[in-house]
A and B are shown apart, each in its own frame.
Chain A
Amino acid sequence: MNDWWWRAITLSDYNTRVVLCGTILLGIAAGLTGVYLLLRKRALLGDAISHATLPGVATIFLWSIMAGYPKSLSLLLLGAAVSGSLGGLSVLALRHWVRVREDAALGIVLSVFFGAGVALIGIVLRLPGGNAAGLESFIYGKTASMTLADVWLSGGLALGVWLVIALFSKEFTLLCFDAQLAASQGWPVVSLDLLLVALVVTVTIVGLQAVGLILVIALLIVPAAAARFWSHKLRWILSASAIIGGASAAIGTLASASFEKLPSGASIVLVACGFFMISFVFGRERGCWWMLLHTARLKRQQQQHHLLRTLYELLEATGQIDDTPPNRPSGLVSAMAVANQRVWNQREVQRVARQLQQLGLVAVRPNSYLQLTPRGWVIARRVVREHRLLELYFLNNLAGSEGDADRGADYLEHSLAPELLWELDGRFRDSDSDPVPASPHPLHPRGTVPGTSIDSEKS
């Protein structure tokens, strides 16, 4: 057993190698098709189609038992293709002509076709000498039952899907983004939709053996959904989806080959699900890890800006700062004075101050006194200017108190587009010589009156 497992993993077994090739091709084809299926917002159409293949498979099965022919895979797949296509077309037709909503149409087709398939299997089981042994592998997927010829067939179909997508990528993209424009340009929207359905049917019947008809939908949807987390570019999404699909199929097939009772469909889908979770967390464009990181960075920057602004305004209120760029650090401000101006405690002030010190914008002196460095002055001045422009905008345009304006500006100043700031600047700048407007509510540091030193509070 161990030896066999080793042979499977190292691909020294010819049969495993062949089956692996087949499922990887399938995974890639499903990954590519799935991207367009998802973009066309038809994800569940694939589910209806795959379930609708069952009556076709069962009919051929029944027929070959009754006629006494050996079961031929290509005939079974043909039956699956016919009934799967019928299922897909029924959904489109129900929606188009009978005015059934799409979700209802999907539910009807999926259950009716699957029910018919189950009934047919029941008949197979009742026949003398009938057993559903081969049928089970179509429902749950069993790569071990694949022969070399099966793999060739599957591989050929998968390559066909590949080719069609490469040829029609422009047309499919247009169809998925804006079917109205496509129609107005004269593209045959219905035929393109049918072509997409045909691709889904093909992937489904290729996947019948490897993944089984219940789970083949996962191979269509999961890699494509996972790929969306990695990029905003369609070309990269297609590549990522193909890679995730292929890798899931490969790893899942090997896992299934290693554990005797594990159906390959289940293991492939579980691996794909693993890829989805990794993408969901770490995906470069939309992964939640990067989102959290981004939010944390924004929050840090916000606090830093608030500290810089408070320092500037305190220095301004005591006349220790003016419009000329300083060439040495500013006067001292106590962390306590800063904390009093904001709803911060001193520890928080010191933490943010240390971050700013590392950036060279603030100098932390003994006894928790802070200084604005010349570089810090430049940044602080910009932050103050943006804050006041916004405050003025709020005060002039929305009747509110100065406090409301201050709070509103606090929330918005970090997310303003530069163009908007330019416009605000043009509207509120009093003269060219004074780029930082006066605060509508000058600071009166607690325990002091304007004009006295801020440090007096400490002594």
Chain B
Amino acid sequence: MTSASGSPTRPDTDSSPSAASIPLAVRDVTVAYHRKPVLWNVTLDVPAGSLVGLVGPNGAGKSTLLKTVVDMVPRISGQVLIFGKPYAASRQRLAYVPQRESVDWDFPATALDVVLMGTYGRLGWFRRVGSTEREQALEALAKMEIDHLATRQISQLSGGQQQRTFLARALVQQADLYLMDEPFAAVDAATEKAIVQLMRQLQAAGKTIIVVHHDLHTVPEYFDYLVLLNLRLVAAGPMAQVFSDKNLQKTYGGKLTLLEEAGEAMRRRDPRATP
């Protein structure tokens, strides 16, 4: 047998029915920012309908992995398939939620304006938003329980409300795969609850959700599939199999405080679980 190292004849699109059912397939992806590698040979299949926690220390390449999926960061090598097709061909099925701090919230726009931006991709060049889009946007805001803030200037929203606005914007994209970059960062408890509820609803509707997350305490509670990343893929699989002391140690190295937190989370998760 030949080794696994990239064969040059690999087809760009894998159109077999099994590949098309996999929401996200990452194959041997390597990414570097100006010579400094940030992702090394990551290979990963995310099963359909899973709620995925993407976890790793700072600088582990979590955000980069999401960005390379949406072709925002160039790959040095490797391939990403979304429902069996390259991103350019499957854009409409994916919604990406950047980090909240990545935009200027002083921008002259209302919450509704921001949510409407989610429909721009569908609208295409020159077409204006119509009443259909407006209704969809209001519906998404209502789902995030902030429809009463629709006309409020976004700088006057709280951090949690801003995050809800971002998620509502992802909702109007009506995607099948959601990528969320740290949606829980600096939000209030009520918003955190609302986001978890939303993720569960999306999952129940058959969507796949991948979430960059930082709080190891809540990882086993929020997600059912875990991807541990630290430049390389440490482990990926169902929560029960992957969320272990050993894997977390491999991911976080010698950072003891984090390990202790994780151990505590393990115990809290399931007292009967065998280590």
The chain A residues found within 8 Å of chain B, CB to CB, are: 39, 41, 99, 167-168, 170-171, 173-174, 176-178, 180-187, 228, 231-234, 237
Q: Is the CB of B108 within 8 A of A237?
A: yes
Q: Which of B53-61, B114-122, B194-202, B264-272 binds A?
A: B114-122
Given A171-B125, A185-B91, the answer on whether A180 and B120 have CB atoms closer than 8 Å is: no
Residues of the A chain whose Cβ atoms lie less than 8 Å from the Cβ of B91 = 184-186
Q: Which of B17-25, B95-103, B255-263 binds A?
A: B95-103
Residues of the B chain whose Cβ atoms lie less than 8 Å from the Cβ of A178 = 98, 102-103, 117
Residue B71 lies at the interface, judged by CB distance under 8 Å to chain A: yes
Q: How large is the interface on B (under 10, 10 to 19, 20 to 34, 35 or more residues)?
A: 20 to 34
Residue B203 lies at the interface, judged by CB distance under 8 Å to chain A: no
Residue B205 lies at the interface, judged by CB distance under 8 Å to chain A: no
Residues of the B chain whose Cβ atoms lie less than 8 Å from the Cβ of A174 = 117, 120
- Between A and B, 10 residue pairs with Cβ closer than 8 Å are A39-B108, A41-B104, A167-B126, A170-B123, A173-B109, A178-B98, A178-B102, A178-B117, A181-B117, A186-B91
Q: Is the CB of B108 within 8 A of A234?
A: yes
Residues of the B chain whose Cβ atoms lie less than 8 Å from the Cβ of A231 = 108
Q: Is the CB of B114 within 8 A of A177?
A: yes
Given A183-B70, A185-B91, A186-B121, the answer on whether A177 and B107 have CB atoms closer than 8 Å is: yes
Q: Is the CB of A177 within 8 A of B117?
A: yes
One of A41, A180, A233 near B108 (C-beta < 8 A): A233
Q: Is the CB of A232 within 8 A of B34?
A: no
One of A167, A171, A181 near B98 (C-beta < 8 A): A181
Q: Is the CB of A39 within 8 A of B107?
A: yes
Q: Could you tell me the distance in whole angstroms from the C-beta of B234 to the nearest C-beta in chain A?
A: 26
Residue B171 lies at the interface, judged by CB distance under 8 Å to chain A: no
Cβ-closest chain B residue relative to A176: B107
Q: Could you tell me the distance in whole angstroms from the C-beta of B37 to the nearest C-beta in chain A?
A: 17
Query: By CB atoms of chain B within 10 A, which of A171, A176, A184, A233 has the most?
Result: A184
Q: Could you tell me the distance in whole angstroms from the C-beta of B173 to the nearest C-beta in chain A?
A: 8
Q: Is the CB of A183 within 8 A of B120?
A: no
Task: Digitize B82-94: 1 where CB-to-A-CB distance is under 8 Å, 0 elsewhere.
Answer: 0000001001001
Q: Could you tell me the distance in whole angstroms from the C-beta of A420 to the nearest C-beta in chain B?
A: 11
CB interface residues, B 55-80, toward A, < 8 Å: 67, 70-72
Q: Is the CB of B117 within 8 A of A180?
A: no
Q: Is the CB of B109 within 8 A of A185?
A: no
How many interface contacts (CB-CB < 8 Å) are there between A and B? 69
Q: Could you tell me the distance in whole angstroms from the C-beta of B268 to the nearest C-beta in chain A?
A: 24
Q: Could you tell me the distance in whole angstroms from the C-beta of A2 to the nearest C-beta in chain B?
A: 46
Residue B128 lies at the interface, judged by CB distance under 8 Å to chain A: yes
One of B34, B102, B107, B121 near A185 (C-beta < 8 A): B121
Cβ-closest chain A residue relative to B128: A170
Task: Digitize B121-156: 1 where CB-to-A-CB distance is under 8 Å, 0 elsewhere.
Answer: 101011011000000000000000000000001010
Q: Is the CB of A184 within 8 A of B70?
A: yes
Complex Cα–Cα for A41 and B110 (A): 19
The dominant DSSP class at the A interface is helix
Residues of the B chain whose Cβ atoms lie less than 8 Å from the Cβ of A177 = 103-104, 107, 109, 114, 117
Q: Could you tell me the distance in whole angstroms from the C-beta of B83 to the nearest C-beta in chain A?
A: 16
Q: Could you tell me the distance in whole angstroms from the C-beta of B179 to the nearest C-beta in chain A?
A: 8
Q: Could you tell me the distance in whole angstroms from the C-beta of B71 to the nearest C-beta in chain A?
A: 7
Q: Is the CB of A180 within 8 A of B102?
A: yes
Residues of the A chain whose Cβ atoms lie less than 8 Å from the Cβ of B67 = 180
Complex Cα–Cα for A331 and B170 (A): 60
Cβ-closest chain B residue relative to A183: B72
Given A177-B107, A177-B114, A185-B121, the answer on whether A232 and B153 have CB atoms closer than 8 Å is: yes
**16 more A-B contacts (CB under 8 A) besides A181-B169, A186-B88, A234-B109?**
A39-B107, A99-B34, A170-B128, A173-B117, A174-B117, A177-B103, A177-B104, A177-B117, A178-B102, A178-B117, A180-B98, A180-B103, A181-B98, A181-B117, A182-B120, A183-B71
Q: Is the CB of A184 within 8 A of B96?
A: yes
Given A181-B96, A184-B70, A184-B94, the answer on whether A228 and B108 have CB atoms closer than 8 Å is: yes
Residues of the B chain whose Cβ atoms lie less than 8 Å from the Cβ of A173 = 109, 117
Residues of the A chain whose Cβ atoms lie less than 8 Å from the Cβ of B126 = 167-168, 170
Q: Could you tell me the distance in whole angstroms from the C-beta of B10 to the nearest C-beta in chain A?
A: 24
Complex Cα–Cα for A177 and B71 (A): 19
Residues of the B chain whose Cβ atoms lie less than 8 Å from the Cβ of A39 = 107-108
Q: Could you tell me the distance in whole angstroms from the C-beta of A387 to the nearest C-beta in chain B?
A: 23
Complex Cα–Cα for A186 and B125 (A): 11
Complex Cα–Cα for A171 and B126 (A): 8
Q: Could you tell me the distance in whole angstroms from the C-beta of A220 to the nearest C-beta in chain B?
A: 18
Complex Cα–Cα for A178 and B96 (A): 12
Q: Could you tell me the distance in whole angstroms from the C-beta of A89 to the nearest C-beta in chain B?
A: 20
Query: By CB atoms of chain A within 10 A, which of B120, B125, B129, B169 has the most?
Result: B120
Complex Cα–Cα for A174 and B113 (A): 10
Q: Could you tell me the distance in whole angstroms from the C-beta of B64 to the nearest C-beta in chain A?
A: 13
Complex Cα–Cα for A399 and B4 (A): 61
Residues of the A chain whose Cβ atoms lie less than 8 Å from the Cβ of B121 = 185-187
Cβ-closest chain A residue relative to B105: A177
Q: Could you tell me the distance in whole angstroms from the C-beta of A35 to the nearest C-beta in chain B?
A: 9
Residues of the B chain whose Cβ atoms lie less than 8 Å from the Cβ of A41 = 104
Residues of the A chain whose Cβ atoms lie less than 8 Å from the Cβ of B109 = 173, 177, 234
Residues of the B chain whose Cβ atoms lie less than 8 Å from the Cβ of A228 = 108
Residues of the B chain whose Cβ atoms lie less than 8 Å from the Cβ of A171 = 120, 125
Residues of the A chain whose Cβ atoms lie less than 8 Å from the Cβ of B96 = 180-181, 184
Q: Could you tell me the distance in whole angstroms from the C-beta of B267 to the nearest C-beta in chain A?
A: 27
Q: Could you tell me the distance in whole angstroms from the C-beta of A173 to the nearest C-beta in chain B?
A: 8
Cβ-closest chain B residue relative to A186: B91
Residues of the B chain whose Cβ atoms lie less than 8 Å from the Cβ of A99 = 34
Closest 4 CB pairs of A and B: A185-B121, A184-B96, A184-B70, A232-B153
Complex Cα–Cα for A234 and B67 (A): 29
Residues of the A chain whose Cβ atoms lie less than 8 Å from the Cβ of B94 = 184
Q: Could you tell me the distance in whole angstroms from the C-beta of A260 to the nearest C-beta in chain B?
A: 41
Q: Could you tell me the distance in whole angstroms from the C-beta of B229 to the nearest C-beta in chain A?
A: 20
Residues of the A chain whose Cβ atoms lie less than 8 Å from the Cβ of B155 = 232
Residues of the A chain whose Cβ atoms lie less than 8 Å from the Cβ of B125 = 171
Cβ-closest chain A residue relative to B34: A99
